[in-house]
Structure 1
Amino acid sequence: MPLDDLDRALVHALYLDGRAAFNHVAEVLGTSQQTVARRYRRLRADGVLRVVGMTDARRLGLVEWFVRLRCTPDAALKVANALARREDTRWVQLTSGGTEIVCVIRSAQAPDSLLLRELPRTPRVVAVSAHCLLRTFVGGPVGWDGCAAALAPEQVERLTPEPPDPAAEPVADVAADEPLLALLRHDARTSYADLAAATGWAEATVRRRIRQLRRAGVLYWDIDMASVHLGYTVQAVLWLSVRPARLVEVAESLAGQPEVAFVAATTGSSNLVATVLCRDVEALYTYLTERVGRLDAIDRLESAPIIHTVKRAATS
């Protein structure tokens, strides 16, 4: 469905703060609370967007791995669907040719053997490689609003919440919060009253726990939304080999480009991985040749259009 300027402004506002009160959003956008609430309900009901509550793997003592699986064409979708059903996977996608799957998985250890044990038993999975995400420069808990950008800097400032406090006490017993976190993964805008009713906790307890998790950086808000709704019909994953002395320079340059939704340093022969969004194939060509191509510290670039997203930020 096409989004108008107000829809885009609302999406941008929710990228900044997924649980921002509608009266505050309306004030910043210069419209009524009823209009903002009505627009959100329509976008949510039509399956255009969902605000989800996600946890930062590092704060939970976990490591995130960027996993590449090569399959025979007849098996790729079956394997991708099996990966999507796993609670520890995010962003399960098929790349061009339909023979490679890329996904992010959380694990305390390298997931290669674990994946091979739990995936459908088939010889059609011909290769698996896992690359540890060493540092995320944009995406996940490092906020991105890139292609949704519709607000003026002053509006962005008014809607941006306080960042996590590095000095905050570590949150104890996060495992006990799983009933609450599961509800937030499904819909982070669920009211405090409904969260309390579903968990059996007091509403004050729910409010206090969310505040603690947010302040400690364990919990963050994300948007589950297909980029096509913002007019970006081409999505691609890039693997880049960058001279180590200039790795941070290149990563930060990429992170500042609105087309880049995700960029992270990884282990492996390619030490940066990125996901980019472009309006069409011609725009992707221009981006690769005129933006990425001018970064002279990149020694090698591999790119592949993403042809199907099986799972986005949260559980399907």
Structure 2
Amino acid sequence: MDAFDELDLAIVHALQIDARAPWTRVAAAVGADPATVARHWQALRDESLAWLTAWPTPERWSSTTDVAVVLLDRSTTPERIDELARLSWVLSVDESSAGWLLLVAGAAGLAALGERVRTLDETGARIRRVDIAAAIPAEDSNWRLRVLSRGQQRLLGAAPQTGEVRAPRPEVVAELAEALEQDPRMPAAALGTALGVSEATARRTVERAVAAGVLRLGCDLAMPAAGYRRGAVLWGRAADAEAAAARAVQLPEAHRVGILVGPAPLFVCVRARSLTELQRIEHAWGAEVEVADRWTVLREVKRNGHLLDAAGRSSARVPVRW
């Protein structure tokens, strides 16, 4: 298997919506029987074409996390980049036409984030540019395929919450995320054992964390095998940066959106089937946005805690800690 068929893509989209949905519910949404769905998913996992993820949401980031977008010179060797990609607080690594692009995270303030950036410099990597994020409205786990219809997606949606959902305590969320990191579909009984609580409490804790927007359970995939063989980084400016960023989040092609501190503060990473689509994407973003620069993504090296091979498959998992 080296590419997705229509059922594969539908299954991945379903798991992006609800990674813990029973196979019976996924099967109902994608129009196949549960055994077939489970067999397709196992084949995708075996080929490292798709994998489940447990990831903090932008809501959790905004309250606990500082992020720096770091550009390293292209002279930095691939061997050095591989070392940096294995650092738990380096969230993503892309080889771009401008250089190596890294997202670095920290939860101990800007001074500590600066120390981490200096750590990159001390490894021998030449830093060309550092931008600090004021906000991260969207990151990679937000992005979804557009395969299932709205009706199919409704079959996967959780029951609507009544009133405001109270998030579990931060230390509980951290413990939960660590337990689900290796297997987001871990049965509630096993999760309860890991957390030292009952099966029912474990199930409710997951539901509350997801509903409150402090944890996202989803599914990632090898983008080239799904036809998304091209990527770009757009830098832009607008009179109302927050409104422009909100519009960028709605672009189907946008998988990472940031508002940085700099002359062109809008930072948007997009993926497409062809670079000829960039003009259409920029037009859809809005006439109010001035695109100041464009970089082509040559290769994704790391995304959401997974190292990627040349074909975009997950080759190893690096536990995310910051």
TM-score after normalising by structure 1: 0.83
| Aligned mates of 1:123, 1:24 — CA distance in 2 | 50
RMSD (Å), alpha carbons: 2.8
Q: Which runs of 4+ in 1 moved over 6 A?
A: 163-166
Counterpart of 2:92 in structure 1 is 91
Counterpart of 1:100 in structure 2 is 100
Counterpart of 1:218 in structure 2 is 214
Please identify, of 225-234 and 102-111, the stretch whose mean Cα deviation from structure 2 is larger. Answer: 102-111
| Aligned mates of 1:11, 1:80 — CA distance in 2 | 29
- Per-residue CA deviations over 1:102-157 (Å, capped at 9, x if unaligned) read 32524342355212443362454233413214250x4456x431xx2111221122
Counterpart of 1:132 in structure 2 is 133
Q: Which of residues 151, 169, 182 is equivalent to 1:186? A: 182
Question: How much has 1:40 moved relative to structure 2?
Answer: 1.0
| Aligned mates of 2:160, 2:129 — CA distance in 1 | 37
Counterpart of 2:309 in structure 1 is none
- Per-residue CA deviations over 1:156-205 (Å, capped at 9, x if unaligned) read 22223357788223422x33554442232222122223334555544334
In the alignment, structure 2 segments of 5+ residues that lack a partner are: 306-316
2:207 is equivalent to residue 208 of structure 1: no
Distance 1:163 1:227, change over 3 A: farther
Instruction: Provide the secondary structure at the position in 2 that maps to 1:214.
Output: helix
CA contact 1:76–1:101 (8 Å) conserved in 2: no
Distance 1:30 1:57, change over 3 A: closer
**Identity of paired residues, percent?**
25
Distance 1:303 1:171, change over 3 A: same
Instruction: Provide the secondary structure at the position in 2 that maps to 1:169.
Output: coil
Counterpart of 2:289 in structure 1 is 298
In the alignment, structure 1 segments of 5+ residues that lack a partner are: none
Question: How much has 1:270 moved relative to structure 2?
Answer: 1.6
Once the two structures are superposed, the pairs formed by residues 159-308 of structure 1 within 5 Å of their partners are 159-162=156-159, 167-172=164-169, 174-199=170-195, 201-242=197-238, 244-245=239-240, 247-279=241-273, 283-284=274-275, 286-293=276-283, 295-308=286-299
| Aligned mates of 1:163, 1:269 — CA distance in 2 | 41
Q: Which of residues 70, 73, 77 is equivalent to 1:71? A: 73
Once the two structures are superposed, the pairs formed by residues 50-61 of structure 1 within 5 Å of their partners are 50-56=51-57, 58-59=59-60, 61=63
Distance 1:177 1:65, change over 3 A: closer
Question: How much has 1:276 moved relative to structure 2?
Answer: 0.9
- Per-residue CA deviations over 1:210-243 (Å, capped at 9, x if unaligned) read 123223221111323221121111111211122x
Distance 1:163 1:126, change over 3 A: farther
Question: How much has 1:249 moved relative to structure 2?
Answer: 4.5
2:143 is equivalent to residue 144 of structure 1: yes
Counterpart of 1:109 in structure 2 is 109
| Aligned mates of 1:35, 1:164 — CA distance in 2 | 32
CA contact 1:235–1:277 (8 Å) conserved in 2: yes
CA contact 1:93–1:103 (8 Å) conserved in 2: no
2:39 is equivalent to residue 38 of structure 1: yes
CA contact 1:80–1:101 (8 Å) conserved in 2: no
Instruction: Provide the secondary structure at the position in 2 that maps to 1:6.
Output: helix
Question: How much has 1:2 moved relative to structure 2?
Answer: 1.5
Distance 1:183 1:276, change over 3 A: same
Question: How much has 1:78 moved relative to structure 2?
Answer: 4.1
Instruction: Provide the secondary structure at the position in 1 that maps to 2:122.
Output: coil
Residue type matched to 1:261 in 2?
A: H
Question: How much has 1:288 moved relative to structure 2?
Answer: 2.5
| Aligned mates of 1:163, 1:91 — CA distance in 2 | 33
Distance 1:139 1:117, change over 3 A: closer
Counterpart of 2:311 in structure 1 is none
Please identify, of 47-56 and 254-263, the stretch whose mean Cα deviation from structure 2 is larger. Answer: 254-263
Please identify, of 81-90 and 194-203, the stretch whose mean Cα deviation from structure 2 is larger. Answer: 194-203
Instruction: Provide the secondary structure at the position in 2 that maps to 1:50.
Output: strand
| Aligned mates of 1:57, 1:107 — CA distance in 2 | 14
